[in-house]
């Protein structure tokens, strides 16, 4: 619901469970305490009030985009008919 | 060896004199100032004058400091009127206990910025207040400049092109992050003296009607003030407004609108349409590489009680650019 | 394609948006009446209004702004509790941004701060730990707000406070839950909502399955959406597709972040500290059962509502303002239909909850649509 921003992990401090994340060239820390799965540098996470909520599934993101593109393509083909 | 400001530094005696001589006169050295009269006499024709006080916290931030701001801020205001900033007064209020090294750094920064503007400080004042009365330092600068071409909001006309000289919201986002200790890195203030760019524009005979630097309240404050003062609505193409990726990242992260965040090295111009391309070309040549045409001055919006600033999105949908109000707070939702 | 493109710019591309616009127009062109789609997330409201998506969709599609803002719906007596707690000697009240301007019966935290109250806005709940550590002689009370998205963050804060044995940190819990509010809206006889754009980040925590009973019981399409313009447009497409096929199910277009089960670790953390309240008053709407969280009884020693009960006023009927917040929050009326809108009620002088927060329906309309 709330403002949560996709950010890319640039470093992880396993001892403090903190990551440094980058959002469009702006960098800050995010707490990984709510993330169960193992994340690595380069992964994208959703950050809300300084705490990561979930890892973003890049494969799903790509599929979603492809789905949108297919929707549009199908509609254009329908129109052409 | 004393390394802090003491109350004695403000009491008019030997320590006061020593501070003025070693800290200020040495750094701002010029014949008028060195004469150390109570008042300085200046020769100039029609004159523009502007005053501003500076209290920024933190004192030092990526891209600048309170000293640089104190010079750039006031000389920019004079330049915006179409005048060459030449002479400044500088008044310092210092908190007892302020480290002299900090003051030295600030003064050196002011000296450097004065060189960029080719302006001099010709008169000044120093006061010291007890610890706790203020937060370290406050600076007031008043700038005087020879009027070259009278640019004023009263000259803005319907149909004028709106140009912005560079990416917005850099200073505001940087200071916000520093002050709120949000520990975001990647943001830099855009604080800079605009006179060199303005001089290039004024050297050519271009139909520049008005200029205003976007400081507190950002682009939105300038445009909304112009709309109110001229009675015309303004139409802005959202995708044309220059924005660095970092500022966009910051504004996404905290949910703060970049249009209301301060700039300190960006100005907005209202220019007759036939000259706007040349204005942008000259701005690019003077290092303002992202100067862009962002909109136009239109007629009053039909049916509106007050003129508005309208943002046209990349999808050709419209919304209002809100006039900044209240405290800037991040949103959570 | 870079991550920034994949997750941001590709989902904003104008050509894609205009293509979706055409698809939506085709799907509803022979509708006899407008379909009313409610979003219950302030972030979704923001996207719709900021990008003008309501201007892109045809008149057969109407966006209705539900109670999407967790501060909008807090009743006045809970704001008054924040004020009274902050007024206790040697006390620091810590909270998140938008809480500052919400009016209680007499005052707001912003006004209290101006008269000397030690009230601190933090960007992250975890900043409360630092404040408590730096001020051992003070009582620090974290005023927790937000939906299910933010509740796990509070739980994480509590866990860390306990691990660090911080004896001076207490919590006032005001987390509210979205699915009960959705059910309440759908249960009202005057409800004219045809479908929901379901919350995106609440779902990251709860999982999408939590909405299945709602779709089934009320036979309404429910599409979980992301926050970029393309996500909203695609969700509208999915809703229209379902309506055209007489379907009523939960769909998830935000699958890059939302799974069916949600964030189990976050859920477990919430369950350790919190349980649902029997009932909770939503400002402008009224009582909704099981719609908010409270501490489990074993945490009474850090629960500000228990420890400082004498400073927490009991629920009271709201002082009338003449505004129609309740109808606006449940999607039955539009901000511009309120007699106070843009007159006595403005963002600088809000009368009711919808104008207070940036994400309130009235505030969004005031800022972006006032004269349209």
Interface predicted TM-score (ipTM) of this complex, two decimals: 0.94
pLDDT at C149 over 70: yes
C-beta atoms of A2 and B244 within 8 A: no
Q: Do A6 and C11 touch (CB under 8 A)?
A: no
Task: Extract long-range pairs of B246-250: CB within 8 Å, 24+ residues apart.
Answer: B246/A24, B246/A25, B246/A26, B246/B173, B246/B186, B246/B187, B247/B167, B247/B168, B247/B169, B247/B170, B247/B173, B247/B187, B248/A24, B249/A23, B249/A24, B249/A25, B249/A26, B249/B186, B250/A26, B250/B173, B250/B176, B250/B177, B250/B184, B250/B187
- Nearest CB to C52; choose among B305, B315, B327: B315
Q: Please indicate, yes or no, if residue C254 is contained in any of the structural domains.
A: no
Residues B137-157, mean pLDDT to the nearest whole number: 95
Check pLDDT > 60 for residue B303.
no
Confidence (pLDDT) at C72: 80
Q: Which homologous superfamily is B7-147 in?
A: PurM-like, N-terminal domain (3.30.1330.10)
How many helices (DSSP H) and strands (DSSP E) are in chain B? 10, 13
Answer yes or no: is pLDDT of C99 > 60: yes
Average pLDDT over chain C, rounded to an integer: 92
Give pLDDT tens digits for B77-98. 999 999 999 999 999 999 999 9
Contact A61 C204 (CB under 8 A): no
Nearest-CA distance from B281 to chain C in Å?
28
Beta carbons of C44 and C227 less than 8 angstroms apart: yes
Helices (H) and strands (E) in chain A, counts: 1, 5
**pLDDT of amino acid B236:** 98
Domain boundaries, chain A: 5-80
Q: Find the CATH number of the domain harbouring C280.
A: 3.40.50.11740
Which residue in A1, A2, A5 is closest to B253 by CB distance? A5
Sequence length of chain B is: 333
- Measure B248 CA to nearest chain A CA, in Å: 7
What residue numbers bound the domain in which C82 lies? 76-178+263-311
Question: What does the pLDDT read at residue C372?
Answer: 54
CB contact under 8 A, B331 and C370: no
Contact partners of C by the rule of 3+ C-beta pairs under 8 A? A, B
Residues of C with CB below 8 A from A65's CB? 6, 10-11
Residue pLDDT, tens place only, B150-202? 999 999 999 999 999 999 999 999 998 888 767 677 899 999 999 999 999 99
- Give the residue-averaged pLDDT of B298-321: 82
Q: Where are the domains of chain B?
A: 7-147, 153-320
Question: Quick one: pLDDT band at residue C191, thresholds 50, 70, 90?
Answer: confident
Contact B320 C18 (CB under 8 A): no
pLDDT value of residue C301? 97
For an interface test with A, the pick among C20, C43, C124 (most A C-beta atoms closer than 10 Å) comes out as: C124
Strands (E), chain C: 35-39, 61-65, 91-96, 119-122, 139-146, 169-175, 195-198, 222-224, 250-252, 274-276, 279-282, 286-289, 293-295
- What per-residue confidence (pLDDT) applies to C320? 60
By percentage, how much of chain B surpasses pLDDT 90?
74
Residue C329, CB-side half-sphere exposure with 13 Å CA sphere: 28
**Could you say which of A1, A2, A26 has the minimum Cβ distance to residue B186?**
A26
pLDDT at B330 over 80: no
Q: Please check whether residue C333 lies inside any domain of the structure.
A: no
Q: Is C358 in CB contact (< 8 Å) with chain B?
A: yes
Say which residues have a Cβ less than 8 Å from residue B302's Cβ, sequence separation at least 6.
none
* C368 shares contact with chain B (CB less than 8 Å): yes
Give me the average pLDDT of each 10-residue run along chain A (81 residues). 83 96 89 96 94 95 92 85 66
A-chain residues within 8 Å CB-CB of C263? 34, 36, 53-54
Do residue B326 and residue C347 have CB atoms under 8 angstroms apart? Answer: yes
Chains contacting chain B through 3 or more C-beta pairs under 8 A? A, C
Q: Which residues of B touch C96 (CB under 8 A)?
A: 330, 332
pLDDT of residue B301: 52
Question: How many CB pairs below 8 Å do chains A and C form together?
Answer: 132
For the domain made up of B153-320, the CATH class stated in words is: alpha beta
Mean pLDDT of C172-195: 93
Question: Percent of chain B scored above 70 by pLDDT?
Answer: 95
A1 and C23: CB-CB below 8 Å?
no
- Whole-angstrom distance, CA of residue C160 vs CA of residue C154: 10
Q: Give B176-204 as a DSSP string.
A: HHHHTT---BS--------HHHHHHHHHS
d(CA B65, CA B178): 12
CA-angle at B159, arms to B153 and B164, nearest 5°? 60
Label residue B108 by pLDDT band (50, 70, 90): very high
Beta-bridge partner residues of B138: B93
Residue C179 confidence (pLDDT) above 60 = yes
What pLDDT digit, counting tens, does each position of C106-127 carry? 888 989 998 889 999 998 999 9
pTM listed for this prediction: 0.90
Please tell me the predicted confidence (pLDDT) of residue B317: 95
pLDDT reported for residue C319: 63
Mean predicted confidence (pLDDT) in C199-219? 96
What fold is seen in the domain A5-80?
SH3 type barrels. (2.30.30)
> What per-residue confidence (pLDDT) applies to A1?
38
Q: Which of B301, B315, B320 sits opposite C367 (nearest CB)?
A: B320
Least confident of B285-289, B300-304, C54-58, C268-272: B300-304
- Counting the structural domains of chain C, the total is 1
Cβ–Cβ < 8 Å for C126, A31: yes
A13-32 residues touching B, CB cutoff 8 A: 22-29
Residue B25 pLDDT exceeds 70: yes
Q: Which residues of B touch A (CB under 8 A)?
A: 182-187, 244-246, 248-250, 252-255, 331-333
For residue C30, what are the contacts with CB-CB under 8 A and spacing of at least 6? Answer: none
B254-266: pLDDT as tens digits? 888 899 999 999 9
Q: Which of C43, C253, C257 sits opposite A2 (nearest CB)?
A: C43
């Amino acid at each position: 619901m709330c403002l949560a921003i996709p950010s890319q992990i640039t470093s992880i401090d396993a001892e403090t469970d903190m990551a440094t994340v980058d959002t469009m060239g702006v960098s800050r820390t995010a707490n990984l305490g709510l993330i169960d799965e193992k994340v690595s540098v380069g992964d994208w996470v959703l950050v809300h009030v300084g705490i990561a909520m979930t890892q973003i599934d890049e494969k799903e993101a790509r599929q979603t985009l492809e789905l949108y593109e297919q929707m549009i393509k199908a509609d254009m083909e329908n129109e052409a008919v | 060896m004393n390394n802090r400001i003491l109350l004695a530094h403000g009491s008019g005696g030997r320590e006061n004199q020593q501070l003025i001589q070693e800290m200020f006169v040495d750094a701002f050295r010029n014949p008028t100032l060195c004469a150390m009269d109570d008042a300085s006499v200046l020769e100039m024709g029609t004159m523009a004058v502007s005053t501003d006080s500076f209290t920024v916290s933190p004192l030092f931030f990526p891209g600048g400091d309170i000293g640089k701001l104190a010079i750039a801020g006031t000389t920019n205001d004079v330049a915006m009127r179409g005048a060459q900033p030449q002479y400044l007064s500088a008044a310092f209020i210092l908190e007892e206990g302020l480290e002299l090294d900090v003051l030295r750094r600030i003064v050196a920064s002011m000296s450097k910025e004065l060189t960029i503007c080719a302006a001099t400080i010709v008169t000044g004042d120093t006061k010291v207040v007890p610890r706790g009365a203020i937060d370290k330092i406050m600076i007031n600068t008043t700038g005087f400049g020879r009027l070259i071409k009278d640019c004023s909001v009263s000259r803005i006309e319907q149909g004028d092109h709106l140009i912005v000289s560079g990416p917005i919201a850099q200073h505001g986002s940087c200071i916000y992050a520093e002050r709120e200790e949000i520990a975001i890195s990647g943001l830099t203030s855009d604080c800079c003296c605009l006179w060199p760019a303005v001089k290039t524009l004024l050297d050519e005979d271009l139909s520049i009607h008005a200029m205003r630097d976007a400081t507190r309240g950002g682009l939105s404050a300038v445009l909304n003030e112009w709309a109110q003062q001229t009675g015309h609505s303004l139409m802005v193409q959202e995708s044309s407004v220059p924005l660095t990726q970092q500022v966009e990242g910051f504004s996404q992260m905290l949910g703060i609108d970049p249009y209301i965040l301060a700039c300190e090295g960006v100005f907005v111009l209202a220019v007759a349409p036939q000259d706007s391309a040349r204005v942008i070309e000259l701005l690019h040549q003077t290092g303002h590489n992202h100067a862009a045409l962002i909109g136009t001055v239109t007629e009053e919006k039909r049916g509106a009680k007050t003129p508005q600033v309208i943002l046209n999105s990349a999808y050709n949908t419209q919304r209002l650019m809100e006039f900044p109000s209240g405290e800037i707070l991040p949103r959570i939702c | 394609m870079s991550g920034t493109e994949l997750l941001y710019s590709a989902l904003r591309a104008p050509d894609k948006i205009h293509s979706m616009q055409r698809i939506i127009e085709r799907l509803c062109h022979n509708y006899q009446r407008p379909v009313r789609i409610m979003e219950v997330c302030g972030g979704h409201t923001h996207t719709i209004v900021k990008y003008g998506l309501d201007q892109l969709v045809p008149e057969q599609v109407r966006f209705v702004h539900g109670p999407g803002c967790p501060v909008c719906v807090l009743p006045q007596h809970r704001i008054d509790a924040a004020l009274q707690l902050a007024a206790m000697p040697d006390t620091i009240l810590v909270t998140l941004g938008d809480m500052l301007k919400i009016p209680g019966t007499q005052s707001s935290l912003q006004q209290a701060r101006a008269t000397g109250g030690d009230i601190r806005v933090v960007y992250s709940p975890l900043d409360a730990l630092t404040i408590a550590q730096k001020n051992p002689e003070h009582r620090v009370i974290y005023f927790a707000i937000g939906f299910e998205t933010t509740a796990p963050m509070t739980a994480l804060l509590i866990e860390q406070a306990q691990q660090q044995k911080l004896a001076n940190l207490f919590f006032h819990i005001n987390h509210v839950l979205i699915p009960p509010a959705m059910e309440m809206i759908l249960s009202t006889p005057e409800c004219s909502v045809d479908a929901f754009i379901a919350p995106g980040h609440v779902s990251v925590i709860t999982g999408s399955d939590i909405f299945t009973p709602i779709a089934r019981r009320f036979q309404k399409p429910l599409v979980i959406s992301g926050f970029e313009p393309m996500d909203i447009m695609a969700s509208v497409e999915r809703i229209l597709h379902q309506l055209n096929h007489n379907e009523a199910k939960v769909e998830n277009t935000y699958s890059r972040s939302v799974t069916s089960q949600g964030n189990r670790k976050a859920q477990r953390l919430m369950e350790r500290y919190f349980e649902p309240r029997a009932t909770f008053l939503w400002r402008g709407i009224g009582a909704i059962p099981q719609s908010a969280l409270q501490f489990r009884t074993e945490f009474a020693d850090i629960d500000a509502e228990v420890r400082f009960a004498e400073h927490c006023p009991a629920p009271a009927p709201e002082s009338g303002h003449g505004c129609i917040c309740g109808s606006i929050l449940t999607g039955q009326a539009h901000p511009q239909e309120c007699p106070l809108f843009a007159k006595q009620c403005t963002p600088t002088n809000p009368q009711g909850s919808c104008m207070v927060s940036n994400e309130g329906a009235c505030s969004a309309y005031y800022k972006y649509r006032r004269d349209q």
